[in-house]
Chains A and B, each alone.
Chain A
Amino acid sequence: GDSVTQMEGPVTLSEEAFLTINCTYTATGYPSLFWYVQYPGEGLQLLLKATKADDKGSNKGFEATYRKETTSFHLEKGSVQVSDSAVYFCALRRGAQKLVFGQGTRLTINP
């Protein structure tokens, strides 16, 4: 079945560091790919998405490119801030089917 694998956390970085959170997926066909973020005490929020190969999703300085050849959707940000501290979830969806989530990666940014 469909699955999503994220790099294990927790990840701790200093402010202004470069961030990469790896995400790979297994799915038949052409799923849509998502990154969700969960700030402390809040619900998951959609951060960005890509619906077809080579699409790049971007939001709030974060980017991820849908790479079909490597079945990956790595999340990147050039310069992280303390306010980016949160748990990040990679997810996929095929058609109108359910979202399938990775296990989440906790990110902590130190000032």
Chain B
Amino acid sequence: GAVVSQHPSRVICKSGTSVKIECRSLDFQATTMFWYRQFPKQSLMLMATSNEGSKATYEQGVEKDKFLINHASLTLSTLTVTSAHPEDSSFYICSANGGGRGTTDTQYFGPGTRLTVL
């Protein structure tokens, strides 16, 4: 089946620094990619939806200047956590839609990135 990769799988950074997480669709073109955040023992919360070549759509309560999303190509989306603080520590998961813009039945998920901010 379709494969989505994330890099890095885990990252530890100091407070105040910025961290970039990459999400790649390895064997298909993804017109839409999604970024989720997961806290321990809690569900995945959608942060934003990004369409290739256009600005990301952020969910209510998600700071777009804090979480910068760039979907520059049909196989790559990046999430940059700017000026990270300990409360940004979390598990970030991306998914890619190979079934056409707007549909979510065929979302393929990456393995996630564990971010720890000291």
Contact = CB atoms under 8 A, between A and B. Distances in A.
Contacts of A93: 104-105
Contacts of A99: 44, 46, 104, 107
A46 B105 CA distance: 9
A38 B91 CA distance: 14
B93 A44 contact: yes
A107 B93 CA distance: 20
Given A43-B93, A44-B109, A96-B103, A4 B43 contact: yes
Report the interface size class on chain A. 20 to 34
A43 B46 contact: no
A43 B43 contact: no
Contacts of B93: 43-44
A42 B111 contact: yes
Contacts of A44: 93, 95, 109
A41 B43 contact: no
Q: Which of A32, A41, A43, A102 is the most central at the interface, judged by chain B CB atoms within 10 Å of its CB?
A: A43
Interface of B: 1, 4, 34, 41-44, 46, 49, 59, 93, 95, 102-105, 107-112
Given A43-B95, A99-B104, 6 more contacts: A41-B111, A44-B95, A93-B105, A98-B104, A103-B41, A103-B43
29 contacts: A4-B43, A32-B105, A38-B109, A42-B111, A43-B4, A43-B93, A43-B95, A43-B108, A43-B109, A43-B111, A43-B112, A44-B93, A45-B109, A46-B107, A49-B105, A89-B43, A93-B105, A96-B104, A97-B104, A98-B34, A98-B46, A98-B49, A98-B104, A99-B46, A99-B104, A100-B43, A101-B44, A104-B41, A104-B43
